[in-house]
Amino acid sequence: MRRPGAWLLGGVGIVLTTVLFVVPFLFIFLQAGKTAEEARLLEFSWPSEWAIVENVRAVFEARDYMLVIAFINSTILTVASVSVLVVLGSMVAFVLQRRRSRLNPVVDFLILSGLIIPPAVVPTIWVLQGMGLFRTMLGLVLVEVAFGMAFVVLLIRAFVSTIPRDLDEAAIIDGAGPVRLFFRVILPLLKSVIVTVVVVQSVAVFNDFANPLYFLPGDENATVQLTLYNFQSQYSTQYNLLFTNILLITIPPLVMFLFFNKRIVAGMTAGAVKG
């Protein structure tokens, strides 16, 4: 396609995608930089005076530093649930790929169900309540683990098949038990897929709104997505602070994206195309 038409098409494509996909983010940024009065106009314009530092401070200080607490809560939730997911998920993926047993079809079916079936909300609360884990961080971590497990196992299992079985045999002959084999030999070799899983799941858990809403209610337990929601009602007219908050919670995914763009795309398409 070395026709001039290709240039034209490319040009139109670039302009259109930029307008459609960049302008909303630019709008967030510009709104976050404005004073309250100017932001209220909702105009797509350059701030006449930059107030971003004041806005960031105001957002952090609002409601007794709720956003700071929320960032801490979200970090704990993300780190804990993703770590547990990776270890438990790769244990399942390893045995599932290596050993043929009558359980395999059952596990396959459970994975498919986990990917498709929408979780039952109130019954999950009922179970958590019964275990004394409702409204606790531990409860929410376990919920995230349960809901993310199917996808993680699916992703890792495909990768386990690329590790030769001879390694297992060698380790066993050298006297390693299954636990040593898994943690010392297999897990380190899964590094590349684990990075993908960690990045994709971290973004998913960090951005999760519905599960914290249902299973960890309460201001003192808020995660970052919920602060966004609280802000909207409190600052129904203070758009500068709302958009500053949106900007702040977009930074972690942006950092992930800048460093792991290829991994994220690989993980999401691989998990998907497997089907």
Under the binding rule (CB under 8 A), the answer on residue 138 touching other proteins is: no
Q: How far is CA 69 from the centre of its chain?
A: 19
Consecutive H or E run containing 109? helix 103-116
Give the integer Cα–Cα distance in Å for 48 and 272.
46
CB of 87 to other proteins, least distance (A): 8
By CB under 8 A, is residue 143 in contact with other proteins? Answer: yes
Task: For residue 107, state whether it binds other proteins (rule: CB under 8 A).
Answer: yes
Binding string, residues 59-98; x marks residues near other proteins by CB under 8 A = -----------------------------xx-xx-xxx-x
For other proteins, the binding residues in 179-238 under the rule CB under 8 A are 181-182, 189, 191-192, 203, 207, 209-210, 213-214, 224-225, 228-229, 232
- Residue that has been written with the tokens 């169900």 in this structure: 113
CA-to-CA distance for 220 and 226, rounded, in angstroms? Answer: 11
Contact 163, 171 (CB under 8 A): no
Which residues within the stretch 154-183 sit at the binding site for other proteins (CB under 8 A)? 158-159, 161-165, 168-169, 172, 178, 181-182
- Of 46, 116, 175, 233, the one binding other proteins (CB under 8 A) is 116
Closest-CA residue to 48 (of 27, 33, 29, 58): 33
3-state helix, strand, coil in the chain (%, to 5): 80, 0, 20
Nearer residue to other proteins within complex by CB, 51 or 190: 190
Task: Look up residue 217 and give its two tokens.
Answer: 């209610």
Residue 27 in contact with other proteins, rule: CB under 8 A: yes
Least distance (Å) between residue 210 CB and other proteins: 5
Contact region with other proteins (CB under 8 A), list: 47-55, 56-64, 65-73, 253-261: 253-261
How many angstroms separate the CA atoms of 211 and 143, rounded?
8
